[in-house]
Chains A and B, each alone.
Chain A
Amino acid sequence: MSHIRDWDWNRGKRVISDIHQWRETYGWVEEPHASPDGESVAAIVKVDEMAFSVCENGSPWESSFDKVWFLRYGPDNRAAALVSDTAMWTVAVSGTPWENWFEFVWDTKFGRFDGHISVSAQKDFAYFAVTDDTPWENTFYTISHLKASPSGRSAAATVQTKPINEADIAAFQKGCFTVAVNGQPWTQNFLNAWEIAFDAKEEHVAAEVRLSLEDYTIVVDGIPWKRHYASVWEPVFSPTDGSVTAPVRLADGWALAQDGEIIWKNRYFQLWHHIYSIDGSRIAAIVSSKFGRWTLAIDDKPWNLTFKDLVTDPALSPDGRRAACVGKTDGKWMIAVDGTAWNDTYDMAWPPIFSPDGRNVAAKTQKNGIYRMVVNGRPIQTNYKTLWNPVFSPEGDKLLIRGIETGANDGKYTRTVLSLAEILG
């Protein structure tokens, strides 16, 4: 496990690899992915007529496979990909495949902090999840909505525990689905179960369920809330007190509920994707308080600024005092912080990211095909053809930028550390 403090936070730019050269070597090069610390860049490449591998910083993995897909870096800066050999599939981490092979694997999930990996898997038409090469003991008729715990050591998913014959609507309505945590299904079945949440200590699990064709609620550790609703969205555990909150639909609109009781007074046309600040003191959510207008509400107080098309990617500063999101109006993408949109508009904007001290916000943006990093509304004058999300140093005084440049460094993947002082002048 590599800690963000141990990363190279020395100011300056380093060329890590020249992607143009990869293209000359391999011909077939898929989209590159960069490691969180920026030290590595990797892409799926074709090494032979029928053989694929992963090229990392210019060198291919030792092993090659019939097929490779879904290459991603985990938070521990190791690359993992889904690989197949003679029609069987598994996960390869830094080029080394797991010992167990399956008929299919998909939906790679990393823990947020550690390098643990879970995938959904199928073998002999039985469905289950696999965490760090260990398959669940129980298998199911289907699996979906795989979710990893914060560390990644545990996984939960929606599973089908009973078969349904073709067009057997009565069987379906009796309930054939539930949630399994590390392979253990809850005892009660539901019509449906969808988005799943873990608490911070990884001891509890909540999910959205449908109890009958019309009744929806939240289930925590297998036990449904007493109140039912016309609909619900994804539950979230409070990071501090273990309570569960979820948006619920009432007769007069959407509201936020906690352990089954309504805690926000306002009613919204829509309310979803609520998030907590790290200290649990604040909740922000995407809301529509007027039909067709979208904004962020913090603790039930919507911003005055609204967007016409959509709002996405809500963010709170670690102390919860500041909030940001991506918004779109008339086809123009924007970033808004604390109720004010940055001056510029973009063809696409990625999640705004707060510095640990909450003082600065950085986001990846795209305009006319060029990617640029923007900090507090000001673009950094380096053009990229591919860019990854920015990372602030633990003290919040530096910014790591990872991208494949255009211009003088065309095609080169670079890793740049800038001080906020030099960015903001």
Chain B
Amino acid sequence: MKAPAEKSFEEKKKIHDKGIEEGAAQLTQEKVHQVVQQMLSAEGGARLKAYIETCSHCGLCSEACHYYLSNDNNPIYSPAGKVKQTIGEIVKKKGKVSVDFIKEACEISFTECNLCRRCVMYCPFGIDVAYMMLFMRRICHKLGVVPQYIQDTAHSHSATLNQMWVKEDEWIDTLQWQEEEAQDEFPDLRIPIEKEGADIFYSVIGPEPKFRAQLIYQMAVIMYASGADWTMPATPGWDNSDMCMYTGDVEMVARLKKVHFETAMRLKNKRIVMGECGHAFRSVHDVGNRFLGWKMAPLPVVHAIEFYYELLRDRKIRIKNKLSQPVTFHDPCNIVRGRGLHEMGRYVINETCKTFIEMHPNREHNFCCAAGGGVINCGPPFRNKRVTGNRVKADQLAEAKKKGAEIVIAPCHNCHGGLEDIIKHYELGMELKFLGDILYEVMEK
């Protein structure tokens, strides 16, 4: 790929973000010292210290990171390099860093790391760079220096308990409208709202009712055809997503996950099935639950991949005609590295598609889409940097295309956002789909 990677370094210096600039303008040196030191003593316990002391700067993690590879092996983009420029410097200086430093560290931790944890697999000591980037982001949150667009999303979460400023009536209206549309095709189909005692509580992320309501339609058809006993709530708590997890606002993460789980518990549903999203899965299964005091999720949480797998394995859904166009598969890191759903994903693809072409590297070694970890949510100012920072993904896709793949399947909303931009920017001419799109297309209805 002959994308302009060289430019990114210069571009980086020119980026102006209101959230970072205006947040930093309110800061004093004293405030920075006070907050950072307090964070180091209260929350930056043994783990942070051990990681920083253990890193031998061997550089084995560098080749793991798509930013490093896509920026011509520029060491400032290597995982260890990013740690050094952010939290490493803070620890070294015992918190005595400047306001300008915070601005720089904010930009690095929020927009140059997807928290994809690929590097962890390549570090001989298992150092979790993503954890350190998150720690840096939490400091930024405490200082009020957070990129504008992702902060706006966090505000939406707190005000509406969903990611997209979807009002309560708009949510219900969307479900009713999707039900009506679907009834033109299947007169008996229902989207059962607030059905107490239903087996399945189905949750989605904010962008579904806002921009991709057809996904709710498709899932309703899948539920209908499989005879599932399911429901969606009429109250906030329907959104399983979580940008506060990525801004370091853990108190809000807890509030969001509490509402989500308690909505399912109020309806006495036995398990939560969620749509195709990676980070939301991480937040309900791994982060928010623990912050609230639940070692595991209090109700079983099932990602859409597992759910489709179940339906196909148990023959609750039958396939009419497999998809004829060749497909490739992007393994979303939060559900693959984070949960090991890669083989189930492949099972679903093999059941629904005629020709499957692997991307390389794949499964838990797959490269991130560069949208995750809240990076895409930092919005337009950082778009170019994100797209040029993932040339390796474009290479991966192009190679799959050379082998014949016409469709990229990505079972994660964020991945869709990221891959769409990459496909466009690098002029790859590939189609992008969710697993649900394909299942809906090929199933017996």
User: A and B, one complex?
Assistant: yes
Residue on A with the closest CB to B158? A192
Q: Which residue of A lies closest to B146 (CB)?
A: A169
Q: Flag whether A309 is at the interface (Cβ < 8 A).
A: yes
- Bin the interface of chain B by size: 35 or more
Chain A: residues with Cβ within 8 Å of the partner, total of 54
The residues of B that contact A168 with a CB separation of less than 8 Å are 152
Contact A106 B148 (CB under 8 A): no
Closest 4 CB pairs of A and B: A292-B295, A270-B293, A310-B298, A288-B293
Q: Is the pair B141, A231 in contact by a Cβ cutoff of 8 Å?
A: no
Residues of A near B167 (CB, < 8 A) are 122, 127, 142
Give B339-360 as 1s and 0s: 1 = Cβ < 8 Å from A's Cβ atoms.
0000000000000000000000
Q: Are A144 and B236 in contact (CB under 8 A)?
A: yes
Chain B nearest CB from A167 CB (Å) reads 4
- How far is B194's CA from A328's CA once the two chains are assembled, in angstroms? 22
Q: Which of A107, A191, A251, A288 contacts B158 (CB 8 A)?
A: A191
**Quick one: CB contact mask for B191-208 with A, threshold 8 Å, 1 for yes?**
011111100000000000
Interface residues in A260-310 by Cβ distance below 8 A to B read 269-270, 272, 288, 291-292, 294, 308-310
CB distance from A218 to the nearest CB of B (A): 15
Residue in contact with B168 in the complex, picked from A70, A144, A270, A312, CB distance below 8 Å: A144
Do A67 and B293 touch across chains, with their CB atoms under 8 A apart? no
User: In the bound complex, do residue A331 and residue B300 qualify as a contact, i.e. CB atoms below 8 Å apart?
Assistant: yes
In whole angstroms, what is the CA distance A81 to B325 when docked?
48
Q: Which residues of A does B touch, CB under 8 Å? A: 28, 30-31, 67, 69-70, 103-104, 106-107, 120, 122, 127, 142-144, 160, 164, 166-170, 172-173, 177, 191-192, 194, 210, 213-214, 216, 230-231, 249, 251, 269-270, 272, 288, 291-292, 294, 308-310, 312, 328, 331, 347-348, 350, 366
Known contacts A169-B151, A169-B155; A69/B142 CB under 8 A: no
- Asked whether A169 lies within 8 Å of B19 as measured between CB atoms, the reply is yes
Among B128-136, B209-217, B248-256, B433-441, the stretch that binds chain A is B248-256
Whole-angstrom distance between the alpha carbons of A249 and B293 in the complex? 13
Contact A177 B295 (CB under 8 A): no
Which residues of chain B have C-beta atoms less than 8 A from A251's C-beta?
42
Q: Which residues of A contact B258 (CB under 8 A)?
A: 272
Q: Known pairs A103-B169, A292-B294, A348-B270. 20 more at Cβ < 8 A?
A: A31-B196, A69-B176, A69-B193, A106-B234, A107-B234, A144-B160, A144-B236, A169-B18, A169-B148, A213-B141, A231-B255, A249-B251, A251-B42, A291-B295, A310-B265, A310-B299, A347-B270, A348-B268, A350-B268, A366-B197
In the bound complex, how far is the Cα of B268 from the Cα of A192, in angstroms?
28
A-B contact pairs, 13 of them (CB 8 A): A104-B169, A107-B168, A107-B234, A142-B167, A142-B168, A160-B159, A169-B18, A191-B158, A210-B158, A230-B251, A231-B255, A270-B293, A292-B293
* A272 CA to B152 CA, complexed, in Å: 28
| A167, B173: Cβ atoms closer than 8 Å | no
Q: Check A106–B142 contact: CB distance below 8 A.
A: no
Q: Which residues from A are CB-within-8-Å of B142? A: 214
A309 near B176 (CB under 8 angstroms)?
Answer: no
The one of B144, B159, B172, B176 that contacts A192, using a Cβ cutoff of 8 Å: B159
Residue B22 lies at the interface, judged by CB distance under 8 Å to chain A:
yes
Which residues from A are CB-within-8-Å of B168? 106-107, 120, 142-144
Chain B residue contacts of A142, Cβ below 8 A: 159-160, 167-168
User: Closest residue to B159 on the A side, CB-wise?
Assistant: A192
Q: How far is the CA of A120 from the CA of B235 in the complex (A)?
A: 12
**Is B27 close to A, CB under 8 A?**
no
Give the residue name and chain of the B residue nearest to A142 (CB).
Answer: B167
B296 at the interface (CB under 8 A from A): yes
Would A107 and B293 be within 8 Å (CB), given that A169-B155, A191-B158 are in contact? no
Contact call A170/B298, Cβ cutoff below 8 A: no
Q: Are B268 and A269 in contact (CB under 8 A)?
A: no
> Cα distance A25–B79 when bound, in Å?
67
Q: Which of the listed residues B19, B249, B293 has the most CB atoms from chain A within 10 Å of its own CB?
A: B293
CB nearest to B173 among chain A residues: A104
Query: Is there contact, CB below 8 Å, between A106 and B295?
Result: no
B261-280 residues at the A interface, CB under 8 angstroms: 265, 268, 270
Cα distance, A231 to B250, chains bound together (Å): 10
Q: Which residues of A contact B188 (CB under 8 A)?
A: 28
Q: Are B194 and A216 in contact (CB under 8 A)?
A: no
Which chain B residue has the least Cβ–Cβ distance from A249? B251
Assembled-state Cα–Cα distance A411/B377 (Å): 51
* Most B CB within 10 A of own CB, among A216, A292, A328: A292
- CB distance A122 to B169 under 8 Å? yes
Q: Judging by beta carbons under 8 Å apart, are B22 and A170 in contact?
A: yes
Q: Could you tell me the distance between the alpha carbons of A332 and B46 in the complex, rounded to whole angstroms? A: 36
Judge whether A31 and B195 touch: CB under 8 Å: yes
Instruction: Give the distance in Å from the alpha carbon of A70 to the alpha carbon of B172 in the complex.
Output: 11
Given A69-B193, A144-B160, A213-B249, are A309 and B298 also a contact pair (CB < 8 Å)? yes
